[in-house]
Amino acid sequence: MTKNELKDFLDTKVRQYNNPKFIESDPIQIPHLFTQKEDIEIAGFLTASIAWGNRKSIITNAKRLMDLLDNAPFDFVMYHSPKDLETLIHFVHRTFNGDDCKQFIKSLQHIYKNHNGLESIFNTNAKKDSLQHAISNFKSVFFEIEHLPRTQKHISDPLKNSAAKRINMMLRWFVRRDNSGVDFGIWKSLSPKQLSCPLDVHSGNVARKLGLLKRKQNDAKALYELDQTLRQLDPSDPVKYDFALFGLGVFEGF
C-alpha cells in the first residue's frame, strides 16, 4: 500500500472501532460507570493499572475493585479509614495483590491532597510532543511517600525503556476528545498530539505487518518509532490509530 492508501485503510478501521460498541468489551467501560471527573480518573487509573491478561478477567476484577471502593472511588480515596483499607487485602489480579491495592489508594490520596490531582502531575512535566517524561515523573511522585518496594513494579517508567502501555492507554482515555463517545477528553490542559500509542502485543504485531514499526521489541524505543510514524498520518490526533491497530489485532486476527 502507498502511504495514502495505508492512511485511508487505517482511517476506515478507526471509524469502525471508535464508537460506543467498543466500550462493551473493553476495560474503558469501568470509568464510563461514573460522571464526576475525579471518579472517572481514579476508576480509569486503577482499571488501567490491572489491564494485562484476559480482557474479561480485567473487567471482572475492575468491577470487583469498584465494589470494594463502595462505587465511589474518589470519596474512598480521600476519606478512607485504616479499617476501610483492610477490605482491600484479599483483592488479587495476577501479580497485583491486596498490599499493592492499599498502597495505590494511599498514593492516590497523597496526589489529590498534595499535588492537585492526577491531571496536574502529568501537565506539569509534559513536553509539547510527548508525555513520556511526565509518566516517569508521575511514578516518582506516586512513590514519594512510604511504600512497599514490590509495588513499584506496577507502574512503568518509559525512561527505563518501558513502553508503559497501561499508562499510555489511560492517557488516551483522559486526553483524546472527539464525538465518538469512547474516550473522555476530560484533561483539557493536555493535547491529543502529545499522546503515544498504547503499544502491546496486538498493536505491535499489526503495526509491523503494516510497515509502521520495524523494531521487534515492544519497548520505549519501539514506541518512539511508532509515534513518529503515526504522527505523519495525523499530527493532531495520532493515537486515534490505536483503535485501528488494536481492532485489527484483537477482533480480526490481522
DSSP-assigned letters across all residues of 116-130 = S-HHHHHHHT-BTTB
Instruction: Give the list of residues 6+ apart from residue 63 with CB closer than 8 angstroms, or none.
Output: 30
- Per DSSP, helices labelled H in the chain are 3-17, 37-49, 55-68, 73-79, 82-86, 98-114, 118-124, 132-142, 165-175, 201-209, 220-233, 241-250
Return the pLDDT at 44. 98
Angle at 183 between CA 179 and CA 188, to 5 degrees: 85
pTM comes to 0.96
Beta bridge partners, 219, equal 162
And the C-alpha cell for 43?
A: 476508576
Closest CA relative to residue 99, chosen from 48, 153, 63: 153
- Contact of 105 with 85, CB cutoff 8 Å: yes
**pLDDT tens for each residue of 177-216:** 999 999 999 999 999 999 999 999 999 999 999 999 999 9
- Contact of 227 with 238, CB cutoff 8 Å: yes
pLDDT for 253 beyond 90: no
Instruction: Give the list of residues 6+ apart from residue 81 with CB closer than 8 angstroms, or none.
Output: none
**pLDDT tens for each residue of 158-175:** 999 999 999 999 999 999
Beta bridge partners, 162, equal 219
31 vs 2 pLDDT, higher one: 31
**pLDDT tens for each residue of 60-99:** 999 999 999 999 999 999 999 999 999 999 999 999 999 9
- Contact of 93 with 58, CB cutoff 8 Å: yes
Return the pLDDT at 1. 84
**pLDDT tens for each residue of 209-235:** 999 999 999 999 999 999 999 999 999
In this structure, of 3-7, 37-41, 114-118, 166-170, the range with the lowest mean pLDDT score is 3-7
| Distance separating the N- and C-terminal Cα atoms of the chain | 16
Which residue has cell 490520596? 109
Average pLDDT, integer, range 12-28: 96
3-class DSSP state for residue 201? helix
**Distance (Å, whole) CA 187 – CA 201:** 27
Going by pLDDT thresholds of 50, 70 and 90, the confidence category of residue 254 is confident
